[in-house]
């Protein structure tokens, strides 16, 4: 899979000159109802609190999304911790002096430990702002090469098997190239067996969101018989060692999601053999700077990557489309159509999936979508503006 596509050292920073004084950081909470509840091994949700951040400078607004959820179930961060860390630490460090580029943003944030989703929200907003200033798309800013990206769908745990099978049919009918089933103890081998029996040839994967331990290895090994594309994050959210033990026991590739929180963790996972595939989520790894570095590492190591999702609004989704346009993103991402989750999205037009199971990478300036400010206003719960003191 190694092809001669050059990956620049840092395509994002050098082009931008001069330095930009960010005038204001705006945090905004918007609640969007989900079209149906989304259940994983760590819980169920029926609405999504969307955390938007924007950076204002020279009459422009760059938009990002903080993907932390309301409760610390997927990760320790919450919308509340992210607001605190942005308000008290990250926004003041950005506002303190003119910003020279993405690596400058990353260097300022590196002084604060953890809180990757908070950092990522601001890195996203920064890149949109920088892209607008350079009149480029996000994809062009980061060296993207694809104009369309393959996409799959993530199907939550359902009340009945029949409900799941109906959804599998529905999303295959819409063209999605890969079906990912959320699993947990009691909703795993039998469910996968039935989906596989009915669809012998589809790209099929499972995601346990850390619901198992090595004690379950004999049970999980039964998943090895279904020709799965991958088994995502079966074990603890911060584990690499047990996953390495598990990967040695499986024919099927393991994929890490929760455990990959930085370039360093990705390097360690590859060294240990903890997985053969990596799910890159910009939010989980702290933004574009780390996501690009992990992509580069995996590309050079022959490890396929794909773009994960966090039930983002169109603003986060636009950033995911840009990320997935990089050359190493060879597997379908969790970048479904806006309509898979929301009756109405925060951008115009919405993200759509073509019948061939691909989504277009916007070529327009910045996000490449219009931010629907009127609609955002109408579903905003709180707004907080942070200015230099």
Give the Cα separation of 344 and 350 in Å (integer).
Answer: 8
Token duo for residue 1: 């899979």
What residues from 154 to 183 belong to the interface with ligand OSB (CB under 6 A)? 154
- Determine if 207 is a binding residue for ligand OSB (CB under 6 A): yes
Residue 13 or 358 having the CB closest to ligand OSB: 358
Q: Of residues 257, 326, 362, 369, which one binds ligand OSB by CB under 6 A?
A: 257
Q: Least distance from C-beta 333 to ligand OSB, angstroms?
A: 9
State the catalytic residue, choosing from 3, 119, 136, 182: 182
Q: Of residues 124, 311, 326, 346, which one binds ligand OSB by CB under 6 A?
A: 311
- Pair 320, 31: CB distance under 8 Å: no
Residue ranges binding Mg ion (CB under 5 A): 207, 232, 257
Q: Of residues 336, 345, 346, 357, which one binds ligand OSB by CB under 6 A?
A: 336
Token duo for residue 3: 């092809």
- Interacting span for ligand OSB (CB under 6 A) from 48-56, 57-65, 307-315, 360-368: 307-315
Q: x/- string (CB under 6 A) for ligand OSB, residues 93-132?
A: ----------------------------------------
Q: Of residues 51, 63, 74, 226, which one binds ligand OSB by CB under 6 A?
A: 74
- Determine if 332 is a binding residue for ligand OSB (CB under 6 A): no
180 classed as catalytic: no
Q: Of residues 29, 240, 310, 347, which one binds ligand OSB by CB under 6 A?
A: 310
Residue 257 or 312 having the CB closest to Mg ion: 257
Q: Which residues bind ligand OSB (CB under 6 A)?
A: 74, 154, 207, 209, 257, 308-311, 334, 336
């Amino acid at each position: 899979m190694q092809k001669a596509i050059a990956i620049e050292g840092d395509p994002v920073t050098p082009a931008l000159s001069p330095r930009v004084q960010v005038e204001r950081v705006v945090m905004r909470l918007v609640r969007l109802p989900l079209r149906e509840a989304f259940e994983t091994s760590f819980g169920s949700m029926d609405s999504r609190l969307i955390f938007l951040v924007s950076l204002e400078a020279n009459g422009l607004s760059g938009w990002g999304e903080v993907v932390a959820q309301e409760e610390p179930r997927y990760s320790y961060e919450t919308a509340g911790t992210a607001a605190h860390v942005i308000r008290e630490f990250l926004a003041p460090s950005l506002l303190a002096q003119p910003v020279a580029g993405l690596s400058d943003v990353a260097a300022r944030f590196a002084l604060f430990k953890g809180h990757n989703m908070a950092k990522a929200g601001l890195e996203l907003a920064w890149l949109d702002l920088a892209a607008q200033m350079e009149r480029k798309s996000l994809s062009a800013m980061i060296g993207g090469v694809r104009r369309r990206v393959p996409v799959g769908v993530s199907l939550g745990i359902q009340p009945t098997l029949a409900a799941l099978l109906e959804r599998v049919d529905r999303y295959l009918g819409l063209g999605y190239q890969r079906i990912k089933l959320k699993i947990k103890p009691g909703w795993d081998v039998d469910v996968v067996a039935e989906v596989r029996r009915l669809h012998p040839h589809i790209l099929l994967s499972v995601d346990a969101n850390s619901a198992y331990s090595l004690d379950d290895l004999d049970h999980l090994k039964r998943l090895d018989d279904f020709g799965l594309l991958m088994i995502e994050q079966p074990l603890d959210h911060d584990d690499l060692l047990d996953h390495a033990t598990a990967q040695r026991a499986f024919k099927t590739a393991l994929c890490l999601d929760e455990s990959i929180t930085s370039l360093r963790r990705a390097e360690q996972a590859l060294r240990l053999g903890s997985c053969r595939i990596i799910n890159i989520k910009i939010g989980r790894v702290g933004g574009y700077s780390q996501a690009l570095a992990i992509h580069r590492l995996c590309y050079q190591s022959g490890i396929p990557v794909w773009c994960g999702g966090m039930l983002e609004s169109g603003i986060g989704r636009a950033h995911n489309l840009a990320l997935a346009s990089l050359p190493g993103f060879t597997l379908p991402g969790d970048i479904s159509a806006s309509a898979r989750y929301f009756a109405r999205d925060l951008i115009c037009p919405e993200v759509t999936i073509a019948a061939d199971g691909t989504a277009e990478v916007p070529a327009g300036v910045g996000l490449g979508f219009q931010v629907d400010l009127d609609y955002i206003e109408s579903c905003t719960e709180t707004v907080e503006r942070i200015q230099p003191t």
